[in-house]
């Protein structure tokens, strides 16, 4: 068994059976090993940002780790920005990156680069397999790291892949138990949450499922505000979901939103920070004097901390469950006429089936879209976590692979969707049930806001040349058709409703260009 085979079998033995891939020559023996192991599902993306973004979406919805297959330094670099987003969202990923054979490295062949440097700049864990006997062990260590929410990268030299491994696969061991705050800190936090002006700000697994239920009970018992970040990696929304107040993107709205707080207890989340700095404004939106308790870091045991906090707060299993604040469903009034963000929200809310997965990269239009959708049928929402645009379509791919029975809605601004549009092809190839809604506002509209927010003058020729995407206009229906995806352009609210109905009847992906 060569090193490549040992690695594939290590992955399969450790429950990693999906591999998003864009291989090259240096990975040929790994490809051959995948080929003789059809239990591994290999999914090709036509650009590496799709590969890692899909692995991220898969992790968010399955809770499992996916593998990626990347081609030397440039392939890794192309995958970097969605690894950044995954890292910020706490998604574990195992990257297998091919490299030249060890004895070839001294020759500086064209594809040689500082692979260790670029891999190390976004990975939590990097291992280089310089010898075939190391491969299985490194693979198991990488899977273990990824299971604890890390970006783990195995650099697989070609000679380590093709030489005899001298042994079989290794099964990854369970990650070390995640830390939890000690009892006195839990008790102090529970007391703090009962004080006036207290908020529990949570993220990670506290935003859906049992974690959200626990957070809801703590809020019901203590009377604290229950807050979710704007960039929630995955959050249960819609009818019956535990109700979180959600933070905003603009710094001024967040400052208002948090103005009354005297203390914030953090579970699975970092202290609030403005997305960018602005001249003369503070970096953080919390009010002066607000005490911030970093009770449980994002890579600690969030569910365990919540359970301990609930117990310390004296949550009553029956009474407080009944008192959890939940989202009331609201069916929006239908409207007709030209599309607005609010109209897109109404149409989406009406069309959304229970159990859907909604991936959000609407950026500027989001403030208008989401209020209606938030009160639609119960669904999971995935958001951009690292601010690197081009996350939506890849995340949608991975979510659809993870949850084949749940319809996926990918809602993206046009500027963002252009970043990884090649994902449309993978959606078609894999017959994934993804409805893509492109919010066509013809530019990086957020930059017009940001230029003004920075105090700069009105945009002139060069600024418009860099912000506006209207000469020529993108034709998203043609772009979709080019990738093998059917689509429809809509300009009215009733047109969007019709197109969403068509999408629901269509097998595989469907793209709707919603023009504002």
Q: Does 183 bind a second copy (CB under 8 A)?
A: no
Does the N-terminal peptide bond of residue 48 adopt cis geometry, omega within 30 degrees of 0? Answer: no
CB-nearer residue toward a second copy: 31 or 219: 31
Instruction: Work out whether strand 379-383 and strand 234-237 pair parallel, antiparallel, or are unpaired.
Output: antiparallel
Among 12, 188, 239, 428, binds a second copy (CB under 8 A): 428
Provide the minimum distance between the beta carbon of 99 and a second copy in the complex, in angstroms, as a whole number: 10
CB-nearer residue toward a second copy: 351 or 446: 446
β-strand partners of 382: 234, 359
Interface of this chain with a second copy, residues 70 to 99, rule: CB under 8 A? 73-75, 77-78, 80-81, 84-85, 88
Q: Show the DSSP H helices in 296-422 as ranges.
A: 302-312, 319-323, 341-351, 366-374, 392-402, 414-417
Interface of this chain with a second copy, residues 453 to 492, rule: CB under 8 A? 453-454, 456-457, 459-463, 465-466, 469, 471-484
302/63 Cα distance (integer angstroms): 14
Interface of this chain with a second copy, residues 110 to 139, rule: CB under 8 A? 110-111, 113-114, 117-118, 120-122
Q: Does 100 bind a second copy (CB under 8 A)?
A: yes
Among 133, 270, 340, 491, binds a second copy (CB under 8 A): 270
CB 380 within 8 A of CB 235: yes
Among 12, 131, 418, 492, binds a second copy (CB under 8 A): 418
Interface of this chain with a second copy, residues 489 to 508, rule: CB under 8 A? none
**Residues 286-325, mask of contacts with a second copy (x by CB under 8 A):** ----------------------------------------
Q: Other C-beta atoms within 10 Å of 57: how many?
A: 35
Give me the residue label for tokens 């991975």.
398
CB-nearer residue toward a second copy: 329 or 387: 387
In 3-state terms the chain splits into helix, strand, coil percentages (rounded to 5) of 45, 20, 35
- Candidates 35-43, 132-140, 337-345, 347-355 — which segment interacts with a second copy by CB under 8 A? 35-43
Q: How many residues bind a second copy (CB under 8 A)?
A: 107
The phi and psi torsions of 34 (rounded to 5 degrees) equal -60, -35
Q: Does 151 bind a second copy (CB under 8 A)?
A: no
Q: Does 1 bind a second copy (CB under 8 A)?
A: no
CB 513 within 8 A of CB 487: yes
Among 451, 491, 492, 494, binds a second copy (CB under 8 A): 451
Interface of this chain with a second copy, residues 377 to 406, rule: CB under 8 A? 385-388, 390
Q: Does 42 bind a second copy (CB under 8 A)?
A: yes
Q: 306-315 b/e with 16+ CB inside 10 Å = b?
A: bbbbbebbeb
Provide the minimum distance between the beta carbon of 108 and a second copy in the complex, in angstroms, as a whole number: 6
Helix or strand (DSSP H, E) at 72: helix 72-89
Helix (H, G, I), strand (E, B) or coil at 314: coil
155/98 Cα distance (integer angstroms): 6
Cα three-residue angle 434-478-464, rounded to 5 degrees: 100
Q: Does 197 bind a second copy (CB under 8 A)?
A: no
- Residue among 58, 63, 159, 39 nearest 103 (CA): 159
The phi and psi torsions of 97 (rounded to 5 degrees) equal -115, 125
Among 16, 18, 43, 247, binds a second copy (CB under 8 A): 43
Q: 33-42 b/e with 16+ CB inside 10 Å = b?
A: bbeeeeebeb
Interface of this chain with a second copy, residues 212 to 241, rule: CB under 8 A? 231
Sign of CA dihedral 465, 470, 471, 477: positive
Interface of this chain with a second copy, residues 50 to 69, rule: CB under 8 A? 69
CB-nearer residue toward a second copy: 16 or 308: 16
Provide the minimum distance between the beta carbon of 157 and a second copy in the complex, in angstroms, as a whole number: 9
Among 1, 239, 273, 378, binds a second copy (CB under 8 A): 273
CB-nearer residue toward a second copy: 180 or 483: 483
Interface of this chain with a second copy, residues 325 to 384, rule: CB under 8 A? none
Provide the minimum distance between the beta carbon of 17 and a second copy in the complex, in angstroms, as a whole number: 12
The encoded tokens of residue 287 equal 């009010």
CB 409 within 8 A of CB 359: yes
- Candidates 202-210, 261-269, 359-367, 450-458 — which segment interacts with a second copy by CB under 8 A? 450-458
């Amino acid at each position: 068994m060569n090193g490549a085979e040992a690695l594939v079998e290590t992955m399969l033995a450790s429950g990693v059976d999906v591999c998003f891939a864009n291989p090259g020559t240096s990975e040929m023996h790994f490809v051959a090993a995948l080929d003789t192991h059809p239990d591994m599902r290999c999914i090709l993306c036509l650009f590496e940002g799709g590969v890692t973004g899909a692995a991220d979406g898969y992790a968010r919805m399955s809770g499992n780790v996916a593998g990626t297959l990347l081609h030397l330094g440039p392939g890794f670099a192309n995958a970097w920005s969605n690894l950044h987003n995954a890292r910020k969202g706490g998604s574990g990923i195992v990257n297998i990156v091919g490299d030249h054979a060890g004895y070839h490295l001294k020759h500086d062949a064209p594809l040689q680069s500082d692979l260790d440097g670029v891999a190390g700049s976004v990975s939590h864990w990097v291992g280089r397999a310089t010898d075939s006997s190391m491969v299985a062990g490194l693979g198991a260590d990488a899977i273990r790291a990824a299971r604890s929410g890390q970006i783990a990268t195995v650099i697989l030299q070609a000679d380590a892949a093709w030489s005899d491994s001298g042994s079989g696969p290794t099964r990854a061991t369970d990650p070390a138990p995640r830390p939890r705050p000690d009892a006195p800190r839990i008790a102090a936090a529970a007391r703090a949450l009962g004080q006036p002006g207290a908020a529990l700000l949570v993220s990670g697994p506290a935003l859906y499922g049992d974690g959200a239920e626990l957070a809801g009970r703590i809020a019901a018992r203590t009377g604290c505000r229950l807050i979710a970040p704007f960039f929630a990696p995955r959050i249960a929304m819609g009818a019956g979901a535990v109700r979180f107040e959600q933070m905003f993107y603009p710094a001024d709205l967040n400052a208002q939103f948090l103005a009354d707080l005297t203390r914030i207890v953090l579970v699975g989340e970092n202290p609030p920070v403005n997305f960018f700095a602005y001249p003369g404004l503070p970096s953080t939106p919390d009010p002066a004097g607000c005490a911030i308790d970093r009770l449980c870091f994002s890579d600690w045991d969030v569910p365990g901390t919540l359970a301990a906090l609930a117990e310390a707060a004296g949550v009553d299993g029956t009474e407080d469950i009944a008192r959890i604040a939940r989202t009331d469903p609201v069916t929006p009034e239908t409207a007709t006429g030209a599309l607005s963000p609010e109209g897109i929200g109404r149409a989406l809310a009406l069309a959304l089936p229970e159990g859907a997965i909604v991936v959000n990269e609407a950026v500027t239009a989001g403030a208008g879209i989401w209020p209606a959708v938030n009160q639609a049928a119960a669904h999971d929402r995935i958001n951009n976590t690292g601010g690197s645009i081009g996350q939506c379509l890849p995340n949608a791919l991975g979510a659809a692979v993870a949850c084949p029975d749940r319809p996926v809605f990918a809602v993206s601004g046009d500027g963002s969707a252009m970043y990884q549009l090649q994902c449309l092809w993978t959606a078609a190839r894999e017959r994934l049930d993804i409805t893509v809604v492109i919010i066509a506002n013809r530019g990086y509209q957020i930059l017009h806001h940001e230029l003004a927010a920075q105090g700069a003058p009105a945009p002139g020729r060069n600024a418009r040349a860099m912000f506006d995407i209207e000469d020529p206009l993108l034709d998203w229906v043609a772009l979709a058709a080019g990738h093998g995806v059917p689509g429809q352009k809509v300009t009215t609210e009733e047109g969007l409703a019709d197109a969403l109905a068509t999408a629901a009847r269509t097998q595989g992906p469907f793209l709707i260009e919603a023009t504002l």
